[in-house]
Amino acid sequence: MRTQVGIIGAGPAGLLLSHVLHLRGISSVVLERRSRDHVERRVRAGVLEQGTVDTLIEAGVGDRMLREGLPHHGIELRYGGAGHRIAFDELVPGRSITVYGQQEVVKDLIEARLAAGGDIRFDVENVALHSLESQPYVTFGDGERLDCDVIAGCDGFHGVSRPSVPEGVLRTFEREYPFAWLGVLAEVTPSAEELIYARNERGFALHSMRSPTVSRFYLQVPPDVDADDWPDERIWDELRARLETVPGFTLATGPIIEKGVTPMRSFVVEPMQYGRLYLAGDAAHIVPPTGAKGLNLAVADVRVLTEALDAYFRDGSTALLDGYSAACLRRVWRAQHFSWWMTTLLHTFDEDDDYGRRLQLSHLDYVTSSEAAATTLAENYVGLPFDLTGPL
């Protein structure tokens, strides 16, 4: 087989890249080691930045998101027995977020690609990347081969793309946090209209939602925790303890339909390219989910890579491809800092660190009382405009 762009991974980055390249008349083949059912069902992020929403609409895959997604114009920071709203509609007029599950984005993209005759191959085994410096190709399955002009590595943190780069080429930056998130999906009407980020001496908690009838919750837990050690009753007791801290708020409970533990880490590789391999999304960077940046960074990478590939296949120009990593990393490091900042602002660290706790509370007071500080949070949370962090 031959195609212009071989895409490894059918997550949001790989699928969106394949779709927007198709709109530009550029051919691609997507290889995914998991089944279609697995890819469409795995629950991940659910907060879409303004720029991500705009990108999906521009790409023609935003209709269901516009019908079913939940636009939000603020979030609540809850601590010290009070709630404080960060009002996006006042601080950054015209920009907001939309709550719409990552798996729903994936479903929309798969449907669009298949309807347009796209080549997505699921359950692909033995994927290997070759000859990245000159004439790249991919082998997979039982001796099948895909020749291509470039390869996009969109296969996540544990994929084969990044390890295919020779040792010593990539520089790694990483940090692991001393806690994890226990994530819970429940069939219950959300208890609030907007997301609640709760700082509590017992640990952080987040109240989110997926639809008018399904809620999403997170609890800060030790990094080695087993989800099976948290029966439903214990989860609801702990969520009530961390969230029912303001007068008049009562947490609605219901059947828990899914739970799992998410490790908290920060990770970046530089550069995000080698030869004719270009890394995008989680293959190149991971952020703790506190800032809701993972999926949104993947979309930003795809925008940069699409423009670079379009220029290359249209007139042979390599300038944007050569600058791909630098352009992406400007936004990646801004999101890394924001995610780290939100994480340290809201989570409990060393229980004996009274000094650290007082600094944390002081900063929360500043964010919730200063329009300038609140604007900084709002501006980063809804997503910086793409033209502020590099070319499209």
Instruction: Show pLDDT as tens, one digit a residue, over the chain (392 residues).
Output: 999 999 999 999 999 999 999 999 999 999 999 999 999 988 777 899 999 999 999 999 999 999 999 999 999 999 999 999 999 999 999 999 999 999 999 999 999 999 999 999 999 999 999 999 999 999 999 999 999 999 999 999 999 999 999 999 999 999 999 999 999 999 999 999 999 999 999 999 999 998 899 999 999 999 999 999 999 999 999 999 999 999 999 999 999 999 999 999 999 999 999 999 999 999 999 999 999 999 999 999 999 999 999 999 999 999 999 999 999 999 999 999 999 999 999 999 887 789 999 999 999 999 999 999 999 999 999 999 886 444 33
278 catalytic per annotation: no
137-140 and 128-130 as β-strands: parallel, antiparallel, unpaired?
Answer: antiparallel
Q: Which candidate in 73, 285, 293, 347 is catalytic?
A: 293
107 catalytic per annotation: no
Q: Which candidate in 197, 218, 312, 324 is catalytic?
A: 197
pLDDT at 389: 45
CB 290 within 8 A of CB 339: yes
pLDDT at 387: 67
223 catalytic per annotation: no
79 catalytic per annotation: no
Q: Which candidate in 12, 19, 72, 177 is catalytic?
A: 72
Enumerate residues 6+ apart whose C-beta is below 8 A from 139. Answer: 126, 127, 128, 130, 145, 146
Q: Which candidate in 100, 274, 278, 381 is catalytic?
A: 381
- Pinpoint the alpha helices (H) of 286-346: 294-315, 319-322, 324-346
pLDDT at 69: 96
Q: How far is CA 62 from CA 6, 89, 111, 196, in A?
A: 25, 22, 12, 26
CATH superfamily of 2-70+97-175+265-347: FAD/NAD(P)-binding domain (3.50.50.60)
Structure-token pair, residue 337: 């800092």
